[in-house]
């Protein structure tokens, strides 16, 4: 494949050569020339196969990642450009991808993105639909190599399992490579590798290796940026290290090198280094990791900054096939996990399921044909159609928090409305949750409820179904009418291209 021949990142993962990618944070805090100077020096590190150029890191607008990516490539560093779903609708994202192709920038990191700190947020599509869009463009001749994110560092069962399930959806959609969220828990790194191996998913993974200094540690200890978390024990260790004459530099590079050695031992495809742009530091970490390679099993035990009482899928992901029972969170734990689904919250889905079985309309039944004719008749009379929309909202708003999106997918989401997710995603949680709680609103993540209800009903497998983004031109219309007239976007219609409005 031509991508593999010309693309060092794709080549390294295809040849199973352990490789390194450095994250270049193109934030507004750095001047563009500083980022590019760092790129020039990093380009001289032979083991480095790409520089990953951020976009909207931490929810703030930074340098234009396409311009920085183009300039980094001119300096000899292969760019891996972050493409997020933040503040662009699907047409805008498609245009960005076409621009990337026109410039010959084909390594992309497809992300949902952090909640913007300023401006009106737009989240039109989610990362799974983004990957589908890129895969569609690839089929059309644009040789994109797609990296996606996954976090094994979730300590609430439903949150963690949905992370893995969403990764499976991204792989099915066309992802080539997965990159983990930041974390310092070797058991969780091993858990992810084992989860994929058990399912025969050979997708290569880069483990995130963050060179953690005291400022970043203090911030991450509070859960910022969303999805990044430093345990009290690790924070204390970093504080102690930072009292050394070198302010803890040697110690944090050593921790990074040890993490790389562990990742290598666990069968990761490479390391995604963050927290430094300094080529000398990166080179030091690479050399030291090489020297430590044979000791990785001892180092595995040291990298144990997980969440006390948190969820782990296996007793020991390296050996045992035993699934570990979740442990209760200890008293005084900073964050509390959402409660198990109440019988009331599972009652509504069960009642609606029973109704669906009693009056089948999901396939071509006589009842569906009658209702289709009825709703077509109503649709031709706008005041009546408006009255139906009002009635639908009056019924669904109090029960589901309906916002009249016009493309109802409640039955694919265990009767949890996706519009109640601030990012309006339809295929699973983003990486920003903290102990199962939303990164934006002070509420449990809605996806935890979806997973718990699906588990209680014994149909977690149905959550693997791709749920398309809504046709937003249908907002404020009746989803009942749209459903029976087949003009909404929903999983059981196969006449919908990825990321396109269908009207
Ligand atoms: S998916 Fe759309 S139509 Fe269905 S409950 Fe949510 S907002 Fe309402």
Question: What tens digit of pLDDT does each residue of 16-35 get?
Answer: 999 999 999 877 667 788 88
426-to-123, 474, 489 alpha-carbon distances in Å: 11, 16, 11
pLDDT at 345: 63
Assigned token pair, 135: 């895969």
Expressed in angstroms and rounded, the spacing between residue 410 Cα and the centre of ligand 1 is: 7
Strands 48-53 and 270-274: unpaired
Dump pLDDT digits (tens) for 141-166.
999 999 999 999 999 999 999 999 99
Mean pLDDT of 483-502: 77
Mutational test site, ligand 1, from 391, 397, 403, 480, max ligand atoms within 8 Å of CB: 403
Q: How many whole angstroms separate alpha carbon 368 and alpha carbon 359? A: 9
pLDDT at 324: 52
| 427 closest CA partner among 176, 55, 193, 168 | 168
Residues within a 6 A CB radius of ligand 1: 396, 400, 402-405, 407-410, 417-419, 479
Expressed in angstroms and rounded, the spacing between residue 125 Cα and the centre of ligand 1 is: 16
User: Around Cβ 404, how many Cβ atoms within 10 Å?
Assistant: 18
Q: 323 pLDDT exceeds 60?
A: no
Let me know if 373 is exposed, middle or buried by CB neighbors in 10 A (0-12, 13-18, 19+): exposed
pLDDT at 4: 45
Provide, rounded to the nearest whole percent, the portion of the chain with pLDDT above 90.
Answer: 79
Query: What is the residue with the minimal CA distance to atom 1 of ligand 1?
Result: 408
Assigned token pair, 316: 């020991």
Query: What is the residue with the minimal CA distance to atom 5 of ligand 1?
Result: 402
Q: 121 pLDDT exceeds 70?
A: yes
Looking at 3.90.1150.10, 3.90.1310.10, 3.20.20.220, 3.60.130.10, the CATH number of the domain 2-302 comes to 3.20.20.220
What SS3 class is residue 55? coil
Range name among 206-220, 271-285, 390-404, 482-496 with the lowest pLDDT average: 482-496
Let me know if 142 is exposed, middle or buried by CB neighbors in 10 A (0-12, 13-18, 19+): middle
Pure H helices in 408-466: 446-456
Residues of the chain with CATH 3.20.20.220: 2-302
pLDDT category, 87, cuts 50, 70, 90?
Answer: confident
Q: Are 86 and 423 in contact (CB under 8 A)?
A: no
Expressed in angstroms and rounded, the spacing between residue 400 Cα and the centre of ligand 1 is: 8
pLDDT at 326: 44
Q: How many whole angstroms separate alpha carbon 3 and alpha carbon 311? A: 39
């Amino acid at each position: 494949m031509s991508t593999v021949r010309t693309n060092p990142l794709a080549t390294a993962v295809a040849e199973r050569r352990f490789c390194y990618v450095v994250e270049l944070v193109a934030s507004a805090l750095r001047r563009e020339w500083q980022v590019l100077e760092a790129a020039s020096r990093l380009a001289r590190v032979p083991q480095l196969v790409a520089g990953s150029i951020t976009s909207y890191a931490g929810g703030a607008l930074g340098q234009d990642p396409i311009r920085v990516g183009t300039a980094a490539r001119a300096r000899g560093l292969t760019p891996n450009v972050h493409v997020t779903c933040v503040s662009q609708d699907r047409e805008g994202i498609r245009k960005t991808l076409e621009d990337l192709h026109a410039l010959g920038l084909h390594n992309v990191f497809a992300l949902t993105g952090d909640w913007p700190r300023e401006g009106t947020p737009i989240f039109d599509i989610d990362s799974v639909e983004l990957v589908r869009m890129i895969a569609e463009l690839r089929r059309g001749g644009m040789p994109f190599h797609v990296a996606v994110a996954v976090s094994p560092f979730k300590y609430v069962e439903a949150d963690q399992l949905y992370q893995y399930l969403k990764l499976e959806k991204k792989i099915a959609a066309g992802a080539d490579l997965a990159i983990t969220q930041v974390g310092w828990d070797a058991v969780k790194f091993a858990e992810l590798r084992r989860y994929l191996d058990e399912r025969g998913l050979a997708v290569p993974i880069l483990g995130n290796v963050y060179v953690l200094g005291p400022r970043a540690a203090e911030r991450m200890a509070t859960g910022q940026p969303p999805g990044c978390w430093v345990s009290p024990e690790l924070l204390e260790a970093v504080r102690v290290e930072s009292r050394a004459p070198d302010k803890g530099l040697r110690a944090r590079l050593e921790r990074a090198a040890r993490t790389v050695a562990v990742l290598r031992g666990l069968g990761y495809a490479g390391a995604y280094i963050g927290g430094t742009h300094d080529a000398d530091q990166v080179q030091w970490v690479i050399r030291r990791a090489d020297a430590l390679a044979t000791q990785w099993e001892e180092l595995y035990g040291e990298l144990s900054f997980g969440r006390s009482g948190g969820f782990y899928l296996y007793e020991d992901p390296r050996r045992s096939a035993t699934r570990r029972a979740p442990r209760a969170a200890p008293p005084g734990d900073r964050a509390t996990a959402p409660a198990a689904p109440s019988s009331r919250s599972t009652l509504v889905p069960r009642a609606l399921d029973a109704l669906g079985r009693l009056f089948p309309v999901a396939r071509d039944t006589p009842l569906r044909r009658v209702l289709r004719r009825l709703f077509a008749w109503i649709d031709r009379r706008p005041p009546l159609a408006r009255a139906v929309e009002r009635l639908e909202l009056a019924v669904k708003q109090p029960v589901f928090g309906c916002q009249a999106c016009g493309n109802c997918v409640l039955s694919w989401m265990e009767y949890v409305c996706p519009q109640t997710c601030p990012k309006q995603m339809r295929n699973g949680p983003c990486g920003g949750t903290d102990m199962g709680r939303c990164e934006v609103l002070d509420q449990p993540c809605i996806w935890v409820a979806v997973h718990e209800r699906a588990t209680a009903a014994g149909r977690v497998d149905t959550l693997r179904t791709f749920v398309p983004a809504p046709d937003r031109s249908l907002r404020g219309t009746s989803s009942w009418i749209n459903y029976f007239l087949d003009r909404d976007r929903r999983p059981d219609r196969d006449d919908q291209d990825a990321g396109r409005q269908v009207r």
